[in-house]
Amino acid sequence: MATSSAADIVKAVGGAGNIESLTHCATRLRFQLRDASGVDSKTVEAIPGVMGAVPQAGERFQVVIGGGVQNVYNDIMALPEMKGGGGAAASDADDIDSIKARERAKGVRGKVAWIDSLFEFLSDSFRPILGALLGASFFITFMALMATLDVIPDWNAPGVTLDPSWAFINLMWQSVFVFLPLMVAYNATKKVGADPWVGFAIMAVLMLPGFTALAQDVEPTALFGIEAAQVAIVPVFGIPMPIANYSSQVFPPLLMAAVLGPLYKLLRRIITANLQLIFVPFFAMLVMMPLTAFVIGPIGVYVGAVLAQALAAINSFSPFIFAIVIPLAYPFMVPLGLHWPINAIMLLNIQTLGYDFIQGPMGAWNFACFGATAGVLVLSLRHRDTQMRQTSTGALAAGLLGGISEPSLYGIHLRFKRIYPRMLVGCFVGGLTIGIGSLVMGLENGVTTQAFVFTSLLTIPAFQPTGLYAIAIGLAFFTSMFLVIWSNFRTPEQQAEFEAARDAAEAAAAAEHVAPAVVEASEPRTIDASEAAPAAAAVPVATAVLEKASIEVLSPLAGKVVPLSEVPDPVFAGGVMGPGAAIEPVGDTVFSPGAGVIAAAQPTGHAFGIVLDGGVELLIHVGIDTVNLKGEGFDVKVKNGDRVELGTPLVTFDRAVIEKAGYPLITPVIVLNADDFGEVSPVLEGEIAVGGSLITVDPKE
């Protein structure tokens, strides 16, 4: 995305002065605004490179970019207006040169502020390391594939010794997951406003070889009777300290950061400013290192083990039910951020059980999500929807190759309510397939994997049995895809709105390639509908086009002129397409309102774009929602590029067909390039004949 588009995004959200803070996740820019009420999502979505816009509670606003979000974030932060006085208030003592990646100190506003804050905390603790997790998952998949092909032994089984070459490759993914608690500690501490390196150091104590060596001669026991929470109790200064294996654990660093944040703020209030650099980190570490080792760390291990054991009990009771519930629950968990704790449980399962049973059913949800996106892509190609084609292409690539669902979810699915029910059917079909397959094959734990991976096409070999998993996700994908294609992802009203916008855009684009002829003025004349066609040959010029003179747009229909505000369509009524007038027709033929060139003649007959001599670009939209008739009742007389004169018939329509279908016949006539002119205003309201003066277009001063 170019810097100009980055500037357009900042402008669309109200300018740098309206931005309280800006962060980003794997696919989205996350704005905390001072006032989000004036931000128009459609304006943001129209910016090149933007895949979608998601307004949220608490003056928050998300802009979906896709995989290039880091570059867009950097472009925005490099804008002159975002430095110094721009963005966050310059009076904030802790502001440096630009907007800090932080939320408001008072938290998210709203009725459920603490829930919103919790989800943001979880999300921001994991999102910066998604790239590392994704990269590690590909190493895991490669190792699984090599084991499947018998190139190496069962690489993740206990007691297996690999050749040093393969052992080194195996270390490439372990480097991420072994030290995952340190990464989470850094991000979570940063989120709560404390020094992230202090949080890193606190968690690092629990992962030092010397720390675990304290319990080398002590037999581990189950903490509070939970087998998955194995700890060794070691007396330190006479106080029993539980020592656990904190590798891959995420609940301990999250809980640690949640306590460190308030403590850090308290220390900054009670310690004078010129001593804070030294003593705030010192006292924070002095308090938190023992507290984390003795209390917080073991609690985190216990909480994760309890949740993991609960899910394991459900899966053991009925892998069939579990395989269906998980993919049906995930579409609602991901938007809320509830999938992050489940990811932590997956890691814990692999650490304690040697395998995970959640990711297999989760794959059914992911591929149902990607299938719905594929359906949107097919429809966008069919409907000539350039923006949605770009959005769905990027989202589908991120999903199928990276296993990332956020671009699909936020860029498409949450914007169009018709998608979710169809996607849920795909989730059910995929989960049902895993459930039935597990029963038939006698799988006690369903589809499993020995390592944490992102569910993409590239990671299919990491799941066992691979064939059952591949069939399940394939059915989930194609079920959602075909349902979306069959029923459309837009409602009829949304489709009509899109058609109007597309027609206008195509007419404007075609106009750029047309060199309008500037002719001498002649007095516009009024003709009856019955003589409109012969008049075309007799009157070659019907629009006054003089330098610094007003231009009159003539009526293409006989009927009653009404304001655009009375059109039963928000796009036209709100002037989104441009200014103009509307006609309630009494005849059945639309004529050219003047001499010009047909820029867009829809084969369905419901809309025409015309560039009149003199440069006025018109859209004539015959009826509302009539595109749904797919051309039934319309007899189109012209095609793109045709030269027309005043009174040339454009289309004849069957009023009975349109009225029987229940669509209004009111016909908006819109000036698409009004910005190139001065005032655009209807000449009159009331009865009008074909060729009567309809709209006056004043030149720019």
Q: Which residues are catalytic?
A: 25, 621
Helices (H) and strands (E) in the chain, counts: 23, 23
CA–CA gap between residue 40 and residue 313 (Å, rounded)? 47
Q: Are 410 and 398 in contact (CB under 8 A)?
A: no
Pairing of strands 448-449, 649-653: unpaired
Looking at 88-163, list the stretches that DSSP marks H as alpha helix, in order from N- to C-terminal side.
Answer: 113-126, 130-148
Return left, alpha or beta for 316; rule: phi > 0 is left, psi -120 to 50 is alpha, else beta: alpha
Which three-class secondary structure state does DSSP give residue 548? coil
What radius of gyration do the chain's Cα atoms show? Answer: 32
Tokens 């009526």, residue located: 555
CA–CA gap between residue 478 and residue 295 (Å, rounded)? 49
Q: Length of the chain, please?
A: 701
CA–CA gap between residue 200 and residue 499 (Å, rounded)? 53
CA–CA gap between residue 34 and residue 229 (Å, rounded)? 45
Give 120's contacts (C-beta < 8 A, 6+ positions apart).
Answer: 103, 108, 191, 337
Residue of 475, 478, 477, 467 lying closest to 433 (CA atoms):
475
Residue 2 CB coordination number (10 Å): 11
Sign, CA torsion 424/429/430/434: positive
Phi–psi pair at 149, nearest 5 degrees: -85, 5
CA–CA gap between residue 605 and residue 395 (Å, rounded)? 33
Give 539's contacts (C-beta < 8 A, 6+ positions apart).
Answer: 522, 525, 527, 645, 646, 647
Peptide bond into 603 cis (omega under 30): no
Residue of 34, 3, 29, 42 lying closest to 16 (CA atoms):
34
Q: How far apart are the first and last CA of the chain?
A: 35
Q: Are 541 and 522 in contact (CB under 8 A)?
A: yes
Residue of 73, 64, 76 lying closest to 394 (CA atoms):
64
Residue 48 CB coordination number (10 Å): 11
Residue 9 CB coordination number (10 Å): 22
Residue of 57, 78, 59, 47 lying closest to 18 (CA atoms):
59
CA–CA gap between residue 415 and residue 67 (Å, rounded)? 19
Which three-class secondary structure state does DSSP give residue 621? strand
Tokens 């459900």, residue located: 314
Mapping DSSP onto H, E and C, the string for 392-437 reads HHHHHHHHHHHCCCHHHHHHHHCCCCCHHHHHHHHHHHHHHHHHHH
Q: Are 230 and 221 in contact (CB under 8 A)?
A: yes
Strand order in the sheet with 617-621: 643-644, 596-601, 607-612, 617-621, 667-671, 580-585, 559-562, 686-688
Residue of 290, 346, 295, 305 lying closest to 222 (CA atoms):
305
Phi–psi pair at 45, nearest 5 degrees: -70, -20
Q: Are 333 and 311 in contact (CB under 8 A)?
A: no
